Structure 1
Amino acid sequence: MRFGVNYTPREGWFHHWVDFDESEVARDLDTIAGLGVDHVRVFPLWPVFQPNPTMVSPAMLARLESVIALAGARGLAVAVDGLQGHLSSFDFLPSWLVTWHRRNMFTDPDAIAATVRYLSEVSAAAARHDNVVAITVGNEVNQFTGDVHPDPHPASTEDVTRWLDATIGAIRRGAPGVPALHACYDASWFSDAQPFTLEHVARAGDMTVVHSWAFNGTGQRYGADAFETRALARYLVEVARAFQSDPDRPVWMQEVGAPRNVVPEESVPGFVRGTVANLAGAEHLYGITWWCSHDVGRALGDFPEVEYDLGLIDSDGVVKPEGRLLREAIEEARSTVPGTGGASTRPELVLDPARGRSVLAPGGSFFTEYMTAAREQGHPRVRLTTHEAAPAGAATGGARHA
């Protein structure tokens, strides 16, 4: 199982692509490698890399390749995201998708064609490096479809299927053999209005990607030190796995962190150890990638307060106590991870998808049933009463899992 971090550059956050300094990136990666991790996830900013629908910047692609090469020189594998998209409360959409050029990113043919061009070129650049182990369509792009968004891009489930076919297909053409993924935040688990469904999460692309954030209502409802809060990430993995067509398909916990708005300082050690320990026994878990490497520097304004101290390393480059805690948790997990996750002896819970997704949310009936079983007997396997067909045309299968 892989252990890594989401790379948030110390100097300039993701705006570092504009004021790029290889020496700063190298220094960041040296510190990250010292945490005992084996990979980083990196984030090109979409409007910076593709300022025009028919132009992907060669200079920015070269900077991406430089980051990948610097990571490789330190023994770090790299996962590359495409559409950013959305990061830490800020949206980064290119100018050709907004205001006078407003197009729906999920349904407009010209927008989709431009997106495909971008993902193909980013993937081709990344694939020139042997240490690239995955390419993700984008970071939680499902948030753009929701009514909660101030300027949504509405889409139907069928639209999403077609869009994933196009975007995952672009990655596969640009980087044959490299796992092509997509990533949703947990509205896909909890909201029946979300057009990115759990079937999309668990069947499109080459792995199932899970992002787990305790501020989704779990920490608020149960408290920072509760079993439910420390077991949330494992719960999401098990629910997502239930919707897979292939039970052996890898699952990647691509984002999990200790947000201070629901996990105060004194609760961080138990949360880090408990989250990693709960995840470590999961079957076919590809990896755990912590959010994030570095704190956002206070010189950058207008972030939600929680974003300024999510890092394992502070904005001066010093490893924080949670960085040392994660290193210890990784060492322990590497020494105890079972090969099968105890598959033959695990209890089983049956989930009827007809009940809707709201039962899966924190406090929902299935969430409660699962957590009770997990606390008393160990994490159960979740099985669906019915197994629907994969979304029509959804891109599935076909890549190595490095």
Structure 2
Amino acid sequence: MPPAVRFGVNYTPSQGWFHHWLDFDLDSVRADLDSIAALGLDHVRVFPLWPYFQPNRTLIRPRAVEQLVALADAAGERGLDVNVDGLQGHLSSFDFLPAWTRTWHRRNLFTDPEVIDGQAAYLRTLAAALAGHPHFTGMTVGNEVNQFAAGPHPDPDRITAEEAERWLRRMLTACAEGAPGRLHLHASYDAAWYQDDQPFTPAHSARLGDLTAVHSWVFNGTAQRHGRTSVPAEHHAAWLVELSKAWAEEPHRPVWLQEVGAPAPLVPAEHAAAFADATVAAVRDCPDLWGITWWCSHDVSRDLADFPELEYGLGLFTHDRKPKDIARVLAEAARSRHDPPAVRAAALVVPADPARRSLCAPGGPVFDAFFRLVADGARPTTVLDTRADDQNHLAARGITEVVTPDQVLPTPQGGTRS
């Protein structure tokens, strides 16, 4: 674990969004990175668009890889470490998949042998290009690739949990082959934790790769049900961090809050700074937290069409690099030093069966029980029902009290809780 929680930002280029790879302007990138570094943040997560970098299964464009290295060099010159997401994949409601995987060449992204070989070669190439870079932390396999494997995606490449695990292991191995000794991980959106039929499971997130990544967005029903200033909304990121620990094999596996943002209109622009302040304060109290990486650095320009409305205002900066109040909140958090959080000694029992993980989703009894404990002043973590009586496991995590949702939530009037 790092000596203190790391603070960074998901880098969204101010000029051209991620399409900037088509007209790469290093001076513009440097100016963006100057604005980020000025906040005192220490890392960026960057996103090469997969079809632009690998337009053919056997063509990984050398010039595109050189531009990625140039971006990493520019970040390093400003004291910013760099994590690179490889298979993009999906960003801000748009899918970016190469033509050799779609329509007339439709092949399953996760099971087709030729597609897998191409993906592995791509990840290995990017990792190897950056392996000697002192500011390169490692690879993330891709951004929320689990959304391609199940609904609500309109055209998913359906797989089993076993096939998802085989794919993840192959991709992580490719990253490690390219850049041995770096931190390599994968990232899912919260369906991995909440959706019963999602083939990418909590165990995959918490056991594969060098860190666990969680992405916290309160537009998943949390803010709609409870409001932006509620305990569940302000502590949702902390909940995902603590939920992930139930499935981890290592008692102190580091967890990276890799994405978190303030989405309008559920969090109006004038309240984004307060939401960020509350979210950071709540999640910073989680032991084993590796870092907090805000989404995102710069707003999407209104010159670009067809984005969901919330995407245009998620940045710490406007698209012309003017800092917002939320940028100042993140800068203050990065500057401040907090005492290490105490062990969370009370654990809420969660189901180990991934087919019952919706109980942990907004509106589910496990979710509601966790936030009842938080509202009462507790600082709980979670434990699988299959480990709730495992004294060695509990002791390794510092857990001295185990409670079930039925013990936390009030009994419905007129009957007993089933």
Report TM bin, short chain: over 0.9
Whole-Å separation in 1 of the counterparts to 2:218 and 2:131? 34
Q: CA deviation at 1:387?
A: 5.0
Partner amino acid, structure 1, of 2:310: V
Whole-Å separation in 2 of the counterparts to 1:331 and 1:128? 29
Corresponding residue to 1:166 among 170, 174, 187: 170
Partner of 2:338: 336
SS of aligned partner of 2:223: helix
- Higher radius of gyration, 1 or 2: 2
Q: CA deviation at 1:265?
A: 2.6
Q: How many percent identity over aligned positions?
A: 51
Corresponding residue to 2:103 among 99, 105, 127: 99
User: Is 1:274 aligned with 2:278?
Assistant: yes
Q: 1:387 to 1:63 in 2, by over 3 A?
A: farther
SS of aligned partner of 2:376: helix
SS of aligned partner of 1:379: coil
Partner amino acid, structure 1, of 2:370: Y
SS of aligned partner of 2:279: helix
SS of aligned partner of 1:117: helix
Pairwise mapping of residues 1-400 of structure 1 onto structure 2 (< 5 A)? 1-332=5-336, 335-338=337-340, 341-343=341-343, 346-354=345-353, 356-387=356-387
Partner amino acid, structure 2, of 1:155: I
Partner amino acid, structure 2, of 1:72: G
Partner amino acid, structure 2, of 1:362: P
Partner amino acid, structure 2, of 1:154: R
Q: CA deviation at 1:139?
A: 0.1
Whole-Å separation in 2 of the counterparts to 1:114 and 1:3? 33
Whole-Å separation in 2 of the counterparts to 1:252 and 1:25? 25
Whole-Å separation in 1 of the counterparts to 2:196 and 2:339? 35
Whole-Å separation in 2 of the counterparts to 1:22 and 1:133? 21
Q: Normalised by the size of structure 2, how large is the TM-score?
A: 0.90
Whole-Å separation in 1 of the counterparts to 2:382 and 2:304? 43
Whole-Å separation in 2 of the counterparts to 1:185 and 1:351? 19
Contact 2:229 2:275 in 1 (8 A): yes
Partner amino acid, structure 1, of 2:96: F
Compare relative contact order (CA 8 Å, sep 6+) and give the higher one, 1 or 2. 1
Partner amino acid, structure 1, of 2:82: V
Whole-Å separation in 2 of the counterparts to 1:139 and 1:321? 27
Contact 2:235 2:282 in 1 (8 A): yes
Q: Normalised by the size of structure 1, how large is the TM-score?
A: 0.93
SS of aligned partner of 2:137: strand
Q: Deviations over 1:266-297 (max 9, x none)?
A: 43232111100011111111100000000000
> After TM superposition, which residue ranges in structure 1, 4 or more long, deviate above 4 angstroms?
none
Aligned-residue CA RMSD in angstroms? 1.3
Q: CA deviation at 1:326?
A: 1.8
Contact 1:45 1:83 in 2 (8 A): yes
Segments of structure 2 that go 5 or more residues without pairing to the other structure are 389-418
Contact 1:80 1:126 in 2 (8 A): no
Whole-Å separation in 2 of the counterparts to 1:302 and 1:352? 40
Whole-Å separation in 1 of the counterparts to 2:108 and 2:351? 33
Whole-Å separation in 2 of the counterparts to 1:128 and 1:266? 43
